[in-house]
Amino acid sequence: MDANIIAAAAINGLLLGGIYTLVASGLTLIYGVLHIINFAHGSMLMLAMFGVFYLLTLLGIDPYLSIFIMVPAMFIFGYLLYKGLIGRLSSGKDENILLLTLGLSILIENLALMFFKGDSRTILVSYSDTMIEVGPAFVPLPKLISFGVAMGLCAALGLFMQRTDTGRAIRAVAKERVGARLVGIDVDRIYAISYGIGLATLGAAASLMMPIFYVSPSVGHVFVLVAFTVVVLGGMGSFLGAVIGGLIIGLTESFGGLFLGESMGQIGISLIFILILLFRPSGLFGAKT
C-alpha cells in the first residue's frame, strides 16, 4: 500500500484519538475518584452537544467560543447533580451510584427524544470546509483545532490535578477515602467536584466535536463504548492512560479500517478490549490492585 495513504491514515487516527481522549478523561476521573462507571456519560455528552448546537443556532455563539459557557455550565450541572441527587440517594454505596447513573442516562435520553426529537442535526460554520495540508493528508481545520485543544485541555487537567490543592485533594480521596477524611478533606464535596469536572470535560468535548460530527439523542452510544475501551486500555483512573489509550484506539480504528475495511476494521477496538482484560486488567497505566 502507498506510504502516503498509510501516513494519512495515521494522521486521521491520531486526530480521532484526540476526541476519544477528551471523552475518556472525564470518565476515568469519575472512575478514579468515585470508583464507579458513570453510565450517564454518553447521555451527558449528548446533552452538552445539544447545548453547543443551540448556543450556535439560537444565539449565534461559535462552537469553539461556547467552550467558555459549556465547561462551567456542565461543571455546575455535574456538581449540583451529585450534591442534590446522586450523593443523596446513593447512601454511600457504589452500586447505588451505578444504578442511579444508569437510570439517569435512560431518563435523559428519553427526555431528549421528547424535546429534541430523534432527529440528527449538524452545524455549519464558516471554517467547516477549510482544509489544511498536514504531510500527505488534507485535514479539515475543525479536526486540527479539536485535536490541539483536546490535548491542551488534557494537559491543563493533568496540571490541575498535580499542582492545585483541589487536585491534590481529589487524588487523596481517590487513593484513600478514610485517610482523606481524617486529614480534614470534605470528601462529599470532592466527589461532587470530581463529578462536575468529569462532566465539564464533556462540555469541552461537545464544543470541539460539534463542528465535525452530528448530534442526536442517541449520539452518546456512538462514543461511550469507545470511551470505556480507552479507559480500560489506559488504566481505570489514569489520565496519562486516557491520553495514550485514546490515541491508540484512534490509530487502531483508522488502520483497522484501512486494512480490514471500515466494516471489519472496528473489530480492532473490541479486540483490544478483550486482550487488555485478559492480559493486563489494570490497563497500561492503571494501579495494580
Residues 23-42 that bind another protein (CB under 8 A): none
Q: Does 118 bind another protein (CB under 8 A)?
A: yes
Sign of the Cα pseudo-torsion (25, 31, 34, 37, in order):
positive
Single-letter code of the amino acid located at 61: I
* Nearer residue to another protein within complex by CB, 53 or 195: 53
Give 140's strand partners.
131
Record the cell numbers describing residue 148, joined without a space. 490541539
The interface region with another protein, picked from 71-79, 84-92, 129-137, 239-247 by CB under 8 A, is 129-137
Q: Does 120 bind another protein (CB under 8 A)?
A: yes
Query: How many C-beta atoms surround the C-beta of residue 273 within 10 A?
Result: 18
Among 91, 126, 263, 289, the residue binding another protein under the rule CB under 8 A is 263
The interface region with another protein, picked from 39-47, 76-84, 199-207, 217-225 by CB under 8 A, is 217-225
Among 64, 79, 191, 223, the residue binding another protein under the rule CB under 8 A is 223
Q: Does 60 bind another protein (CB under 8 A)?
A: no
State the minimum distance, in angstroms, from the CB of residue 85 to another protein: 23
Distance, CA of 270 to CA of 281 (rounded, Å): 14
Pairing of strands 131-134, 137-140: antiparallel
Give 138's strand partners.
133
Q: Does 127 bind another protein (CB under 8 A)?
A: no
Query: How many C-beta atoms surround the C-beta of residue 109 within 10 A?
Result: 20
Q: CB-hemisphere CA count at 13 Å for 268?
A: 20
State the minimum distance, in angstroms, from the CB of residue 92 to another protein: 33
State the minimum distance, in angstroms, from the CB of residue 13 to another protein: 9
- Cα distances from 63 to residues 67, 142, 197, in angstroms, run 7, 10, 20
Residues 238-257 that bind another protein (CB under 8 A): 253-254, 257
Single-letter code of the amino acid located at 228: F
State the minimum distance, in angstroms, from the CB of residue 266 to another protein: 5
Instruction: Find the helix packing angle between 94-116 and 41-59, rounded to 10°.
Output: 30
Contact set with another protein (CB under 8 A)? 2, 5, 8-9, 12, 16, 109-110, 113, 117-124, 128-129, 131, 137-138, 140, 213-214, 216-218, 221-223, 226, 253-254, 257-258, 261-263, 265-266
